[in-house]
Amino acid sequence: MASEPRRKALKYGIVAIVAAVVAGVGGYAAWQAARPAPAPTPTPAPVEKPIKVAAIYVTPLEEPWNTVLHESLTWAQENLGIEYVYSEKVDTADAERVAREFIDAGVDVLFTHSWGYHPVAIKLGEEFPDLALAQGSGPTDIEWPPNIVLYDYWIQDAAYLAGMAAGMMTKGDQIGVVTAYAVPDVNRLVNGYIAGAKSVNPNVKASVVYLESWFDPVRAKEAARAMIDGGVDFIYAERFGVFEAIREADKVGQVYAFGNIVDQSPLDPEVVLASIVWDLHSFVELLVEMAKTNTWQGGIYDWGMKEGWAKLVWNEDLKAKVVPKDVLEAIEAKQEEMLKGEFAAPIYEDWVPERWE
């Protein structure tokens, strides 16, 4: 048949076109997702050239770990006259390319906001000794170039206070944590929360579930349901999914949750009693100041409650309704000690269930 080759060619042609379209759309989407967001219009006020700050995030901005930095930098853009650009969902393998694009574009301060980025930060820190680099979490037992600021969420003090509330208010002496991975920074919070509860109620039993996943609210919900079935009535929701479990189990008013990193009480004002908040405004303010005055100082910044970094943010309406006076007084007294530097929550970076038995 004479038409056979032509037909074949036509078929392959169509396949090629469809494949090209699919690849094009996919590639465009990936490029869009990975490329630096266009710089928002700079504020007109400052006379001197504004400081240019860039941030690279490994997951979407909705991840609370990213949300805090993004909000603080957006705030700095509006109030401190910086120029802020960012790129979200940057795979660890792409981090160096994206970082170099930002450096080429002339940023003054670069935030590499993920543990996995730290080798890239070290490499770039050595290559560009004048660049101000801020690395979000990383090992503390290695040598860092002097221009790198290493920061991490040292908010175990706030978790400790939440644990105190849980320990004093629980009806059946059972509290819980639904969390992602047993990594050091997460474990600091888990242990801080349990330590707080144990300090006021030695009989408290802690139930901890690791999901081994950052975004799986359906399984987080099942973990919380399992805890609720077992009699847990105060759950620290390190991940999304716990609040909905309380609602679905019809335990609103009997079981309460604590939000993590950002104030999550708007998600469910009847369930979220308080949030263990990481507030980076003062930190960003300091870094911007250092960059402006050419006094950039690297090193480990392990700020806590005293420096305004860790906060227990109450859901005021619910607090007024359910938290007894003696509980509030005990927590406020402890918070006062923390602010004065007289007390700090213990720091444990591993997960050993026997520790709390």
Partner 1 sequence: MSEFIDLLISVGIASAMIRLMTPLLLAGVGELFVQKSGVLNLGVEGIMLFGAFFAFIGTFFTGNVGYGLALAIVVGVAINLLFAFLTVSMAVDQVVTGLAINIAAIGTTSYLYRATFPYATAIPAKTETIIEVEPIPFLSSIPYIGPALFSHTVFTYAALLLVPVAAFMISRTSWGLRVKAIGEDPHVADLLGLNVVRTRYFILIMEGVLAALAGSMLSISQYNMFLDNMTQGRGYIVVALIILGRWSPINFLAGSLFFAYIDALQLRIQAAGITIIPYQFALMLPYLASFAALALVGRRVKGPASLAKPYKKVK
- Residues of this chain that interact with partner 1 (CB under 8 A) are 1, 4, 11, 14-15, 18, 22, 25-26, 29-30, 32-33, 59-62, 64, 67, 70-71, 88-89, 176, 182, 205-210, 212-213, 215-219, 221-223, 225-227, 229-230, 232, 240-241, 244, 248, 262-264, 266-267, 353-354, 357
d(Cα 357, Cα 355) in Å, to the nearest integer?
Answer: 6
CA distances for 66 relative to 56, 63, 166, 237, 306, angstroms = 9, 5, 27, 17, 22
Q: Quick one: DSSP state of residue 41?
A: P
Sheet holding 83-87, edge to edge: 83-87, 52-56, 109-112, 132-136, 148-151, 299-301
**Which residue's CB is nearer to partner 1, number 217 or number 346?**
217
Q: How far is the CB of 34 from partner 1 (least distance, A)?
A: 9
Q: How far is the CB of 237 from partner 1 (least distance, A)?
A: 13
d(Cα 147, Cα 126) in Å, to the nearest integer?
Answer: 8
d(Cα 101, Cα 171) in Å, to the nearest integer?
Answer: 55
Burial pattern 320-340, b for ≥16 Cβ within 10 A else e, equals: eeebeeebeebbeebbeebee
**Which residue's CB is nearer to partner 1, number 17 or number 320?**
17
**Which residue's CB is nearer to partner 1, number 144 or number 283?**
283
**Which residue's CB is nearer to partner 1, number 29 or number 105?**
29
Q: How far is the CB of 126 from partner 1 (least distance, A)?
A: 33
Q: How far is the CB of 337 from partner 1 (least distance, A)?
A: 29
Hey, what amino acid is at 284?
V
d(Cα 296, Cα 148) in Å, to the nearest integer?
Answer: 9
Q: How far is the CB of 256 from partner 1 (least distance, A)?
A: 17
Please give the torsion angle defined by the CA atoms of residues 324, 328, 330 and 335, in that order, rounded to the nearest 10 degrees: 160
**Which residue's CB is nearer to partner 1, number 18 or number 320?**
18
**Which residue's CB is nearer to partner 1, number 272 or number 330?**
272
Hey, what amino acid is at 25?
V
Listed in sequence order, the residues at least 6 apart from 116 whose beta carbon sits closer than 8 Å to its beta carbon are 58, 92, 95
**Which residue's CB is nearer to partner 1, number 15 or number 300?**
15
d(Cα 208, Cα 176) in Å, to the nearest integer?
Answer: 6
**Which residue's CB is nearer to partner 1, number 33 or number 333?**
33
Q: How far is the CB of 220 from partner 1 (least distance, A)?
A: 9
Q: How far is the CB of 209 from partner 1 (least distance, A)?
A: 4
Q: How far is the CB of 353 from partner 1 (least distance, A)?
A: 4
**Phi, psi angles (nearest 5°) of residue 104:** -60, -35
Q: How far is the CB of 50 from partner 1 (least distance, A)?
A: 21
**Which residue's CB is nearer to partner 1, number 77 or number 207?**
207
Sheet holding 310-314, edge to edge: 205-210, 174-179, 234-237, 256-261, 272-278, 310-314
Tokens of 205: 């039993």
d(Cα 44, Cα 46) in Å, to the nearest integer?
Answer: 6
